Structure 1
Amino acid sequence: MAIRVYGIEVNNQKQAVRILESVGADQAGCRWMAPKMVHRLVMLEGVRPEQANIIKQEMLGKGGEAAVARGVVSCSVDETKVLLMGTLKQYSAFMAKLRLQPYGLPDLADRIGQVITGQAGNLPGSLDCRGITVRLGEKTLIMGILNVTPDSFSDGGSYLDSGAAVARAKRMVADGADIIDLGGESTRPGHMPVDAEEELARVIPVLKELVKELPVPISIDTSKSAVARLALESGAHMLNDQWALRADPAMAGLAAEYGVPVVLMHNQEGTGYSDLTGDMIAYFQESINFALEAGMDREKIIIDPGFGFGKTAEQNLEALRRLRELRCLGLPVLIGTSRKSTIGKVLGLPVEQRVEGTAATVAVGIVNGADIVRVHDVKEMARVARMTDAIVREQGAFAGG
């Protein structure tokens, strides 16, 4: 019989162990070899030549690789990027040696370790939403969009009546929504800003009913602390801030005061980037620091790459392709691609005909590490998520038949 030859892919140690076991390796061998099978890339920026030379030497000494700028050896450049390439086993030995070096490299070793840990993805865990617990990591959570606005790009004006809004939320929960995201100000391109008083008039009557009627967490979608405070006093369970605690300096302290989970969305004026995900990660790190300095628990932070905000259509698609890179922060990732204009530009379709395009972005987002998807079409996207989870998360759940 001819020897069969084929390639395989390994993304984490769990997969590595399973493949080793299929070969017939014993448990001790599996534990020893699995870290050698998982390869990681880590980018460092702003590294001084004296640091870069040590980093490269130590990584090469452990069998890995480190790419640096020309001129590092001669110290003819002020700083450099460093691209680290290695297996988990090589990184472990490399970081141990780095902790013995000068020039601030012990601290850098710890930060590299945090990135390596984050790249593996979040283990399943609980998120306490003011008494309502949701599980992250076991399945993709569905956040249903409820806009009580006259001008949102997709459903503006549909749920201005409180009764209609509550009925819509109940329908979304019945269709599979794990969270309801309530918003009172449109953020579509060219939207007209509203003051806190108008936003509160739209959301609070609906929120009070939702809290009484629904078993799932209610997230308030706002960047104003005045709106957020009254919403939290009225029973909201989460905050979804489209400016990541930057638009209102009181937001971080408010979130810490109430101990609520917060979604930090990437947003900026203009579409200029030196590196799309590198810049987003730096942005998130700053907002995370705001949150932690205000007293928030890191475990209560969720990040959102801001599909459609401060990005061209091409950049939105790139962000989705590179979504997995955000996992280095070690935080749950939410995506909000539903019915967005990028889908319309790709398919040449109006808002009401973008369900299939949304489904594609949801599936790709889950494959690339999304934990929560924020959508309009809950029933359809819950089915997409369940099918994608069966493939990616290996849930093995079947409806029957």
Structure 2
Amino acid sequence: MSGRVRAVIIENEKEVKEYIRAVGCDLAGINAMAPKAVHRTLKLAGLPVAAANVIKQEMLAHGGDAAVHRGVIDNSVEKTDALLMGTLKQYEQLIYKLRMYPFGLQETAEAIKNVLLNIEGRSCRELRCRGKKVMLGERTLVMGILNVTPDSFSDGGRFDRLEEALEQAKRLVDEGADILDVGAESTRPQAAQVSAEEEIARLKPVLERLIPEIPIPISVDTYKSETAREVLAMGVEIINDVWGLKKDSEMAEVVAQYPDVPVILMHNQSGNHYQDLMGDIISSLAESVTIAEGAGIAPDNIIIDPGIGFGKDTDQNLEVMRRLKEFQALGKPVLLGTSRKSMIGKTLDLPVSERMEGTAATLTLGISLGIDIVRVHDVKEMARVTRMTDSMVRR
């Protein structure tokens, strides 16, 4: 008899509709029951006590619940976080009721609605890169790394001469790269900072050859507005900012001048102290998104990167990897850059030259948790990993 009972893992409403349809229900029944089968847990930060009380009571009234600080009941605290627990149907009812309340709850209702929509899953769409197009959502995109630096942690000095850089770029394209990311300043810890003038001097001769010869979008890894302005004028299609537009106050405006140039916003910070690891990282990325959109960068041109290896120790990096799915709440494509990084080296006690299998493991986990783009050194091998993982995950 036990074989007749099994657990069914439901990721989203689309999946549960397929399960209900297979049972034999009609369309009306499918639409009525599907929102009851998907459970979501949401965390709200810094709610005023009055707002928290309303949310708690409304969730209870509809069969859900909300965990709040014990001081909410006697007003001994002014604010509280809240952990909401409910089905999509219960959230639908909560949102309807919150729109009728004061205490900022109308805005909270819209925020809850947007997060639920974002984590339900995104449809396939084109990412327009100044005439070059790549599809997001059909499969995991592979971004190949080309460092024209003398001191990058993994391949510094290998491709800092023009002909070697051009040869490597073409090799990455042939091996399956969908995007080429070119960097001219090492971002490894304790690396010497490079001026914009030096960065541009390293980039220009390479880009002058790559832009007309390479058929895939070319990204430049820089956080300096002067460098971005120069390479965008040359025709570069993507800007990859490891400081999420926060290091240089002019960066967002420079990128916004090019309507078809996507920007990658990475989480980064000095030191690795957090009040709430995932909450702080997601909040920081949300600030970067606000900066981008406030400057006029189109919402569909924004990609986020959790910043593995930046402002995080090994345990923190591993925890972020485990919880990559949480970044879907921001509603942006997610890029994952773990290739050969110290998280792998410290976990497996291996040098940079022996981290391919560890990199493959991180990519497989990342793809299963919903990331859209992987940034890698070993394109041929990692393209195979992404294709195999996609065949299981993106069915």
| TM-score normalised to structure 2 length | 0.98
Change (3 A) 1:36 1:148: same
Distance in 1, matches of 2:225 and 2:313, equals 29
Counterpart of 2:229?
Answer: 229
Counterpart of 2:295?
Answer: 294
Q: CA deviation at 1:89?
A: 1.0
Q: CA deviation at 1:163?
A: 1.4
Q: For 1:174-227, what per-residue CA distance to the aligned partner results, in whole angstroms no more than 9, with x for missing partners?
A: 111000000000011110111111111111111121111111100000001111
Q: CA deviation at 1:276?
A: 1.2
Q: CA deviation at 1:15?
A: 1.1
Q: For 1:6-53, what per-residue CA distance to the aligned partner results, in whole angstroms no more than 9, with x for missing partners?
A: 111101012101211222222221122111111111101111111111
Structural mapping, 1:219-298, within 5 Å: 219-259=219-259, 260-298=261-299
Counterpart of 1:387?
Answer: 388
Counterpart of 2:146?
Answer: 146
Structure 2 letter corresponding to 1:127: L
In the alignment, does 2:188 pair up with 1:188? yes
Structural mapping, 1:118-129, within 5 Å: 118-129=118-129
Structural mapping, 1:1-40, within 5 Å: 4-40=4-40
Q: CA deviation at 1:333?
A: 0.3
Q: CA deviation at 1:100?
A: 0.6
Decide whether the 8 Å contact of 1:143 with 1:375 is kept in 2: yes
Structural mapping, 1:15-94, within 5 Å: 15-94=15-94
Deviates more, 1:199-208 or 1:353-362: 199-208
Q: For 1:104-145, what per-residue CA distance to the aligned partner results, in whole angstroms no more than 9, with x for missing partners?
A: 111110011111111123211111111111111110000000
Structural mapping, 1:298-337, within 5 Å: 298-337=299-338
Distance in 2, matches of 1:153 and 1:101, equals 54
Decide whether the 8 Å contact of 1:150 with 1:158 is kept in 2: yes
Q: For 1:255-305, what per-residue CA distance to the aligned partner results, in whole angstroms no more than 9, with x for missing partners?
A: 111121000000001111111111011101111111111111111110000
Structure 1 letter corresponding to 2:170: K
Decide whether the 8 Å contact of 1:116 with 1:328 is kept in 2: yes
Distance in 1, matches of 2:335 and 2:105, equals 33
Q: CA deviation at 1:3?
A: 6.1
DSSP 3-state at the match of 1:150: coil
Distance in 2, matches of 1:186 and 1:71, equals 49
Q: Cα RMSD between the aligned structures?
A: 1.0
Distance in 2, matches of 1:349 and 1:106, equals 52
Change (3 A) 1:2 1:63: closer
Structure 1 letter corresponding to 2:72: V
DSSP 3-state at the match of 2:44: strand
DSSP 3-state at the match of 1:126: strand
Q: For 1:303-322, what per-residue CA distance to the aligned partner results, in whole angstroms no more than 9, with x for missing partners?
A: 00000000000100111111
Structural mapping, 1:97-176, within 5 Å: 97-176=97-176
Decide whether the 8 Å contact of 1:208 with 1:235 is kept in 2: no
Deviates more, 1:123-132 or 1:328-337: 123-132
DSSP 3-state at the match of 2:71: coil
DSSP 3-state at the match of 2:70: coil
Distance in 1, matches of 2:2 and 2:305, equals 50
Structure 1 letter corresponding to 2:35: P
Structure 1 letter corresponding to 2:19: I
DSSP 3-state at the match of 1:71: helix
Structure 2 letter corresponding to 1:318: E
Structure 2 letter corresponding to 1:252: A
Distance in 2, matches of 1:363 and 1:333, equals 14
Decide whether the 8 Å contact of 1:243 with 1:264 is kept in 2: yes
Structure 2 runs not aligned, ≥5 long: none
Distance in 1, matches of 2:163 and 2:35, equals 55
User: Number of residues paired by the alignment?
Assistant: 394
Structure 1 runs not aligned, ≥5 long: 395-401
Distance in 2, matches of 1:365 and 1:224, equals 29
DSSP 3-state at the match of 2:72: coil
Distance in 1, matches of 2:254 and 2:63, equals 48
Distance in 2, matches of 1:144 and 1:155, equals 13
Q: CA deviation at 1:160?
A: 1.0
DSSP 3-state at the match of 1:186: coil
Q: For 1:325-373, what per-residue CA distance to the aligned partner results, in whole angstroms no more than 9, with x for missing partners?
A: 0100000000100000110111111111100000000000111111000
Structural mapping, 1:355-394, within 5 Å: 355-394=356-395
DSSP 3-state at the match of 1:240: strand
Q: CA deviation at 1:2?
A: 7.2
Distance in 2, matches of 1:34 and 1:386, equals 31
Counterpart of 1:399?
Answer: none
Counterpart of 1:397?
Answer: none
Distance in 2, matches of 1:226 and 1:184, equals 14
DSSP 3-state at the match of 1:187: coil
